[in-house]
Amino acid sequence: MLSLIIFIPLLTAIALIFVGRDNTGLIKMAGVGAATSTLLVSLWLLFAFDVNNPGMQFVQTLHWVPALHINYLVGIDGISLWMVVLTAFLGVVSILMSLNQKKDLRNFIALMLALEAGTLGVFLALDTILFYVFWELMLVPTYFIIGLWGEGRRVYATMKFVIYTLVGSLLMLVAILTLTMVHYGATHEVTFDLRILTHTHIDTFTQIWMFLFFFVAFAIKVPVFPLHSWLPHAYVACPIPALILLTGAMSKTGAYGFLRFCLPLFPEAIESMALVIGFMAASGMVYGAWIALAQKDIKALVAYSSISHLGFIVLGIFAQNGEGIEGSVLQMFNHGIIASSLFLIVGFIEFRMGTRNLGELRGLSKSMPVLYGVFMLVMLAALGLPGLNGFVGEFLILMGVWTSHLLAGLASILVLMGGLSIVFASVYMLYMFQGSMQEKPTVENNSDISSSEFKLLLPACILIILIGLYPKPIIDRVSPSVESLLHLEKTVNLETGKDTDHH
C-alpha cells in the first residue's frame, strides 16, 4: 500500500509527458485523479494503522541494488503517518489550485505530482540511500516550477534555493555513507537500513561532526535561523499551487529528518548542542515574526511568519521529551494546514485585486464576506487562539521546553521568546487582516470567492476547529512512536556505556 502512495503521483507525472499539451481535459483528469487516489490510500492507512504498535508498520522491501545492499525499503509509524496524510491532502488542494494555470499546464501538473511523490517518499523511506534519492527528487521539480512559472526575481530565488539545498544534500550524503562505514566497522555487515543503523555505537567525536552534517541539511530545509535566507525569495517567487506543497509539506521534511535521524543516532552530540540549537530556533521565531511586521507584500508577510512558526517546531523537537516532540509533530500538521490556507487566501485576493500590496488593499470585507469569514478563522488559528489548532501544538511545545532537562539552562528565556513571538504573531496577523479587510474600500471589487474556491478552503477550516477542540486522535497515534524514539535513545546509551567498559 505504501508504494502506491509514492508511485501513483510519480507514474502519473511520467505518463503526462506522453500526453499532448492541448489535451487539457485529460491532463486535468489525470492530475486530479492521481492526487485524489493518493489521498484515499493515505486515509485508508489512517484507519488500518495499529495505534498501539510503536514500530514501523506496512513495511515493504525490494532488493534494489543487491550488490551494494541498497534496498527499496518503506514503512510508516505514528510520526510519519500524519505527515503522509498532510502531504496527500495538500497534494489534492495544490493540484485543484493548479487547474487555472494558463502557461504549459501539462508540465506544471507533472512537476507538481513529482514534487508530491518525492515529499511522500521522504516520509516513507527507511533505507538511507532511498531517503537521499527522494530528498533530491523534491529539489528538481521545485527548481523548475519556481524557475519557469515563478514571478519577480525567480532566477535569483531558484539559484539561492538550489545552492543552499545542494550544499545540505551533499553534507547529508557524506554523513549517510559514513554511518554505514561505522556500522560496517563494528559488525562487518553493509546495511543502509535505518532501523538497524539506529542501534550502532558511534563515538562522541564522530557523532558530533556527523550530527552537524545532518543538521545543516535538515536545518536548511526547515529552515532554521540563520540558514533561512533562501526562503523569503523562493516563497515570494513561487506560484501559489507549488507554494502550498512547499510550505505545507516540504518544509516539514527537515523537521522530520531531525526526528528520524538526529535524535536516535546522535544522542551525545545533541546533549552537547541542544542549548545552541534551542536558541537558534527561538531566535528564528522572534526574528521571523519581527520581520513579518515590516512587510507590505502579504505573500512575503506569510513567508516570514512561516519562519517564525517553523522555529517553534524545531524548538519542540530539541526539547527532547514527550510533550515537546508530540507538540512538534502536531504543530507540523497544523502549520501545514494554516500556512497553506493563508497562501490560498493570498492567491485569491491577488487574483481578484491584481495586487498583494497592503497599501493598496482596503475594506474587502464588504464585497467578499465569505472570504472575510474564512480569513478571520485562519488568521485566528495562526496567532494561536485557544480552541483552534494553532494553540494546541504551541502550548504542548512550550510545556515541553519548560520541563526539558536538555534546555534547562535556558528554559525560561526560550519560553519567554516563544511568548514574544506569539505576541508578534497577533500583531502582524491582525495588521494583515485588518489592513486588507477593514476600513473604507480603496479599489472597487464586486466578486467574492467562488464556491469551488470556497471548497478548497473548507476542509482546512473544519480541521482547524476539530483539531483545536479535540487533538486526541492525532496525539494517540503519535505518542507510542515518540515514546519508543525516546526510549530507544536511552537503551542505546546504556549499551554504549557497557561497551566502553569492556574495551
For 398-441, the pLDDT digits (tens) are 899 998 888 787 888 988 998 888 888 889 888 888 888 877 76
For 351, the enclosing helix (H) or strand (E) is: helix 322-353
Domains in the chain, number: 1
pLDDT at 216: 92
Which strand (E) or helix (H) includes residue 490? helix 472-502
State residue 202 phi and psi, 5-degree precision.
-120, 130
Is residue 57 a part of any domain in this protein? no
The amino acid sitting at 156 is Y
3-state SS, 204-237, equals: HHHHHHHHHHHHHHHHHHCCCCCCCCHHHHHHHH
Positive or negative torsion for Cα 377, 383, 384, 390: positive
| Cα distance between the two ends of the chain | 46
How far is 418 from 412, CA to CA, in rounded Å?
Answer: 10
**Residue 372 is assigned to a structural domain of this protein:** yes
Asked, for residue 298, whether it belongs to a domain, the answer is yes
* 3-state secondary structure at position 471: coil
Is residue 414 in a domain? yes
Q: 76-106, pLDDT tens digit by residue?
A: 988 899 999 999 999 999 999 888 888 888 8
Q: What secondary structure does DSSP assign to 410-438, as a single string?
A: THHHHHHHHHHHHHHHHHHHHHHHHHHHS
Please provide residue 407's backbone torsions phi and psi, each rounded to the nearest 5 degrees.
Answer: -100, 15
| Helix, strand, coil percentages for the chain (3-state, nearest 5) | 75, 5, 20
Q: How far is CA 271 from CA 205, 259, 262, 308, 405, in A?
A: 13, 15, 11, 24, 10
What type of residue sits at position 208? I
Q: Are 142 and 242 in contact (CB under 8 A)?
A: yes
Q: Which residue, among 230, 210, 227, has the nearest Cα to 143 in the 3D structure?
A: 230
CB 338 within 8 A of CB 332: no
pLDDT of residue 38: 92
- Is the residue at 122 inside a domain? no
Q: Please state, in angstroms and rounded to a whole number, the distance separating the CA atoms of residues 192 and 181.
A: 10
CB 121 within 8 A of CB 129: no
Cα–Cα dist 306/236, whole Å: 12
Instruction: Provide the H-helix boundaries in 49-153.
Output: 78-98, 105-124, 128-149
Confidence at residue 446, expressed as pLDDT on a 0 to 100 scale: 65
pLDDT at 491: 55
- Angle in degrees, CA 7, 9, 13, rounded to 5: 110
Question: Is 125 within the bounds of a domain?
Answer: no
Residue 334 structural domain: 271-490
Question: What would the pLDDT profile of 292-325 be if each residue is shown by its tens digit?
Answer: 888 888 888 988 888 889 998 999 998 888 888 9
Phi, psi at 178, each rounded to 5°: -60, -40
The pLDDT score that the predictor gives to residue 274 is 86
C-alpha cell at 429: 496577523
What is the identity of the amino acid at 213? F
Angle, helix 78-98 to helix 451-469, in steps of 10 degrees: 160
C-alpha cell at 358: 497592503
* Grid cell listed for 121: 517518499
> What are the backbone dihedrals phi and psi of residue 20, each rounded to the nearest 5 degrees, phi first?
-60, 145
Query: What is residue 445's predicted lDDT score, i.e. its pLDDT?
Result: 67
Model pLDDT, residue 196: 84
76 φ, ψ (degrees, to nearest 5): -140, 140
pLDDT of residue 27: 87
The answer to whether position 113 is within a domain reads no
Q: Classify residue 376: in a domain, yes or no.
A: yes
In one letter, which amino acid is 438? Q
Cα maximum dimension of the chain: 79
Residue that the C-alpha cell 526510549 belongs to: 487
Is it true that the peptide bond before 226 is cis, omega within 30 degrees of 0? Answer: yes
Which portions of the chain are predicted below pLDDT 50? Answer: 493-503
